[in-house]
Structure 1
Amino acid sequence: MQRLQAFRCELRPNGQQQRDMRRFAGACWFVFNKALALQKERYEQGQKKLGYAGLCKRLTEWRGGLETPWLKDAPVQPLQQTLKDLERAYKVQRLHTRIAHCRKDDLHKATTTISQNHAMVCIEDLQVRNMSKSAAGTADAPGKNVRAKSGLNQAILDQGGFEFRRQLEYKLAWSGATLIAVPPHNTSRTCPCCGHVSKDNRKTQAHFQCVQCGHEDNADVVGAIHVLRAGQARLACGEDVSRAKSAKALRAASVKQEPAEVSQAEA
């Protein structure tokens, strides 16, 4: 039988070895910061970024120069690994930059298509900043489920909700269309058939089933129906649609408008 087993070992360096390890670590940090400053300087001057081979040549110059001769006292392998770490950090940054550009391009395509094909667009007035607040809390009152909330915050920010709304606002304004933001409260918990409101109507993230009349649909579809109805109500009542109001104020404004519509019909 073949057995694979790992062992954990503890290093116990003596005083001189500890001093050397600290000195070598300091040399690695110095090389990292010096190489990073060199890359920034070349970028500001419009020059091409040096690759790993080019940085290794500079490292040889630094080790043999008059300003930093103490770099010779450190082994060259950790210093070279530091340059690899810097290069990897630039690869990761380029990847994040590419992802951000792809996301922004998709948002521009989507908002352009919407603004060119709709005279009125209704959206939920989502407060992205409040939705993505940290759950870490304070030392006196620490938060709960911090790691899960952190992942949720990142997922919310990755959707680009704020940027999506910003692009919609100015593109719809250019085409003379209207953007209406409505309160998101209970939009996916209210039955579009009987109007019953309950959190039990949405027992899962995707499925909606009214506990009163039995109506079933996708929860996002139900939410979209109510967002559209609320937006149409605000527009019909002649309200200021540039900013969302509370649901209570929305119902009050709609009630105020009803008598005028009835008297006009009777006339």
Structure 2
Amino acid sequence: MQRLQAYKYELMPDGQQARQIRRFAGSCRFIYNKALALQKERYEQGEKKLGYAGLCKRLTEWRNSAETAWLADSPVHPLQQTLKDLERAYTNFFAKRADLPRFKKKGQSDSFRYPDPKQIKLDHGNNRLFLPKLGWLRYRNSREVLGVVKNVTVSQSGGKWFVSIQTEREVEQPVPQATSAIGIDMGITRFVTLSDGAFYAPLHSFKRHEGALRKAQQAMSRKTKFSNNWKKAKARVQRIHSRIGNARRDFLHKASSAISQNHAMVCIEDLQVQNMSRSAAGSTENPGKNVRAKSGLNKSILDQGWFEFRRQLDYKLAWRGGWLVAVPPQNTSRTCPCCGHVSADNRKTQAQFLCVECGFEENADVVGAINVLRAGHARFACEVSGAVMPPAAGTHRSDSGAAQCLH
């Protein structure tokens, strides 16, 4: 089977290369904004939206125009990829998967992509990479690149430039090394609670750096906007944000890797994180209730990175031949795993579960994980037998070979 995988490294460009990278990123941002403005203008005039081919014709005109002749200094393929990104953004908007495309700002998600592998050269032994109109660039070689290079993306984060090398390679059909199944309950006090009683304590990456971030933002607000001191203060804020994100990603990768390595099937609640973290402020006419408490809860939910954790579990289980099964979260923490009695009185406190029917007592998160596992087993059995069962949104079967390893 074919496996697509990306390897990310920090670039170490010299002064001239760093200036060229900034110019290329700026050119891509300019093309994106210009094409977006053109699409909005055509919409206001009642004309049809231009497709990717039509935008590429306009790109040629812009590159040959005397007013924007500096666009010719940038490689054409990254500019074309920018138009593809805009076309994809409109497609997601019309499919109601995303909001309307917005104009890009300088310094926010600066990136560009080389799609042609024939123009890319990777010298892994000498820790360098060749890119069109940039030449050979040094990078911090932290691990070996496996597979054939398909494309390269250069991006900025925290004042540093990074390169992401996407590769494709043939791998054998994965067979799970483990044969066990586990249920997972997501929470705030405990980030992940497993049905066997083990749990992962939350990292609280944002909460740890919140004080330093507040001071850095206050210092930036006192500076004259766009002055040199303001730019330095802004760079400090960006570095703190980068540190928060790096710590969270590292924690999520370690937790998801450990779980996917030790279990062939993982059952997880189908949580709608976007709805759960929606603001409760309301409007002027209908103000919300308990806004301060809900705001703190939303901040804690987003600080955990629940959606990213599920995404990582999804592809890591697929790489190892396992299954990720999402089940409805209703009453998972209110149902007694011993007698099956469902009642809100079973969970009078956040942490403790006490069945009012049979007296079964256990940690509420462990009870939730056990019920998630049972629901996952039932859904898995229906999928294997072909029985009709309403699927939970996001239910994913990573590999058909996992059925044999579980029976």
TM range (shorter): 0.5 to 0.7
Which one-letter code corresponds to 2:358 in the other structure?
C
Structure 1 pair 106–84 and aligned structure 2 pair: CA distance change class (3 A): same
Larger Rg: 1
Matched residue SS, 1:244: coil
Which one-letter code corresponds to 1:44 in the other structure?
R
Equivalent in 357, 372, 381 of residue 227 of structure 1: 372
Q: Deviations over 1:100-134 (max 9, x none)?
A: 11111111121122222211000000000000011
Query: How many matched pairs?
Result: 177
Q: Which residue of 1 aligns with 2:292?
A: 147
Q: Which residue of 2 aligns with 1:248?
A: none
CA apart distance, 1:89: 3.1
Q: Deviations over 1:8-34 (max 9, x none)?
A: xxxxxxxxxxxxxxxxxxxxxxxxxxx
Matched residue SS, 2:392: coil
Q: Deviations over 1:138-176 (max 9, x none)?
A: 222121222221121111011101001111111111111
CA apart distance, 1:223: 0.3
Q: Which residue of 2 aligns with 1:134?
A: 279
Give the structure with the higher percent helix: 1
CA distance in 2: counterparts of 1:43 and 1:86, whole angstroms: 19
Equivalent in 238, 244, 257 of residue 392 of structure 2: 244
Matched residue SS, 1:122: strand
CA distance in 2: counterparts of 1:141 and 1:240, whole angstroms: 43
Alignment RMSD, CA only? Answer: 3.0
CA distance in 1: counterparts of 2:233 and 2:223, whole angstroms: 15
Task: Report if the CA contact (8 A) 1:189-1:201 is conserved.
Answer: yes
Structure 1 pair 242–194 and aligned structure 2 pair: CA distance change class (3 A): closer
Structure 1 pair 98–42 and aligned structure 2 pair: CA distance change class (3 A): farther
Structure 1 pair 78–234 and aligned structure 2 pair: CA distance change class (3 A): closer
CA distance in 1: counterparts of 2:370 and 2:223, whole angstroms: 61
Superposition TM-score, scaled by structure 2 size:
0.40
Task: Report if the CA contact (8 A) 2:223-2:229 is conserved.
Answer: no
Task: Report if the CA contact (8 A) 1:108-1:167 is conserved.
Answer: yes
CA distance in 2: counterparts of 1:107 and 1:113, whole angstroms: 10
Task: Report if the CA contact (8 A) 2:382-2:389 is conserved.
Answer: no
CA apart distance, 1:231: 0.5
CA distance in 2: counterparts of 1:153 and 1:205, whole angstroms: 17
CA distance in 2: counterparts of 1:115 and 1:94, whole angstroms: 31
Equivalent in 317, 321, 342 of residue 172 of structure 1: 317
CA apart distance, 1:229: 0.5
Q: Which residue of 2 aligns with 1:119?
A: 264
Superposition TM-score, scaled by structure 1 size:
0.59
Spell out the pairing of 1:51-130 with structure 2 (5 A cutoff): 83-130=228-275
Task: Report if the CA contact (8 A) 2:256-2:312 is conserved.
Answer: yes
Q: Which runs of no fewer than 5 residues in structure 2 stay unpaired?
A: 1-18, 25-158, 160-221, 394-407
Structure 1 pair 43–204 and aligned structure 2 pair: CA distance change class (3 A): farther
Structure 1 pair 198–79 and aligned structure 2 pair: CA distance change class (3 A): closer
Equivalent in 196, 204, 208 of residue 349 of structure 2: 204
CA distance in 2: counterparts of 1:180 and 1:93, whole angstroms: 37
**Paired-residue identity, %:** 65
Structure 1 pair 155–164 and aligned structure 2 pair: CA distance change class (3 A): same
Task: Report if the CA contact (8 A) 1:179-1:242 is conserved.
Answer: no
Which one-letter code corresponds to 2:22 in the other structure?
E
Spell out the pairing of 1:27-42 with structure 2 (5 A cutoff): none
Q: Which residue of 2 aligns with 1:44?
A: 22
Matched residue SS, 2:301: helix
Q: Which residue of 2 aligns with 1:191?
A: 336
